[in-house]
Structure 1
C-alpha cells in the first residue's frame, strides 16, 4: 500500500497562496485609491502672510489649490481657474481679522488654512 506523498496536495496549496496574494494586491490597490480620493486637496496661500499687519481695510487673498476644488474664503464660494489659482478681496475691520480658507474635492476631507490679519489704524481707508 502506497502512502500519500507529503506533497500530494501541493498544487492546491500553490493555488491558495496565489489567490491570497492576488487578493492582498487588489486590496492594497483599492485602499490606495480610496485614500487618494478622500485626501484633502493641496491648498497654498501665497498672500497674505499669517499675522500680517496693515493699515488698509482690504486684503487680497492669493493662492492655489487643485483644479475643480470647492473653495471658500470666510464662507463665500470662490471658483479657482483651470490651473487651480485663485484671488479674492476681503474687507477687513479695524483690529484683529481672522480669514478662513477651505478647499475640498467632491468626496474628500477639507484642507483648511487660517490667516490672522491685524488692521492697526482705526480710521484706515478702504483701499
Structure 2
C-alpha cells in the first residue's frame, strides 16, 4: 500500500540525490519501505540517493524512477526533473571529458606505435630501393678503364706495341675487335702488330649485361728514325 505524506520542499539540499535522500529521512522511511511503495529495487533507490544514476538500467528508467520516487516523497516533480536534467547534462559532459582524457594517452600511444612502425617500414623500403638501384647502376653502367700508353699519336719504328690497361673484374675487353683475357684483378695486356703509317687501336670494355666504353689511340709506325727532342 502506498504511503501518503505532506508536501515538503527542502531548500538547502541542492542536488536531486540530496533532496530525495533528505526527504526520505525526514519522513523516517527506510529504503525497504520505499522500494515496496515504488516497486523499485533498493539498490537503485540507493544509487539515486548517491548520484549514481549511471548504474540504473537506462536513462528512460532513471527519469521514470526519479518521478516515481519524487511522487512518493511529495516533492515538486517538475522542478526536480528540471534539476535532474541539468545535473545529468553537466555529469554527462564531465564523464565525456574524463573518458577523453583517459582515452587520449592510449590513442596517442597507438597512433605513435603505428606512426613509428610506418616510418621504420618506409625507411626499410627506401633502403631496399636504394640498394636495388645501386646494384642496377653497377650492372648496366660502363666499366672504368685506364690505359698504360705513352700518348695519343705515338710514333715508333717497332713492328709491334704492347697495350696494357686496367678495368673492372668481370668486364669484357676487346682490342681491335679481338677478345682479351683479363687477369684476376682486371688487368690486361696484349701485343699488337703495327703496319707502316697510321695504326688505329680501338679498345672496348663493357659489362656482360651493361653498357660499354670505347677508347681509340693512333700509333704511327715510321720507317725513319724517330728524332728525340733535345735542349738548346
Instruction: Give the TM interval when normalised to the shorter protein.
Output: 0.7 to 0.9
Name the structure where helix makes up a greater proportion of residues: 2
TM-score by length of 1: 0.77
Q: Quick one: higher RCO (CA 8 Å, sep 6+), 1 or 2?
A: 1
Give the number of aligned pairs: 122
* Deviation of the 1:99 alpha carbon: 0.9
Name the CA distance, whole Å, in 1 between partners of 2:183 and 2:160: 22
Question: Which of the two has higher C-alpha Rg?
Answer: 2
The alignment partner of 1:27 has SS state of helix
Deviations 1:55-94 (A, max 9, x none): 2342221222233321100111111222333222222333
* Deviation of the 1:54 alpha carbon: 1.5
Match of 1:118 in 2: 220
Q: Map of 1:21-40 to 2, 5 A cutoff?
A: 21-40=123-142
> What is the RMSD of the two structures over their aligned residues, measured on CA atoms?
2.4
TM-score by length of 2: 0.46
Unaligned runs of 5+ in 1: 123-127
The alignment partner of 2:219 has SS state of strand
Name the structure where strand makes up a greater proportion of residues: 1
Extract structure 1 runs of 4+ deviating beyond 3 A. 2-6
Match of 2:151 in 1: 49
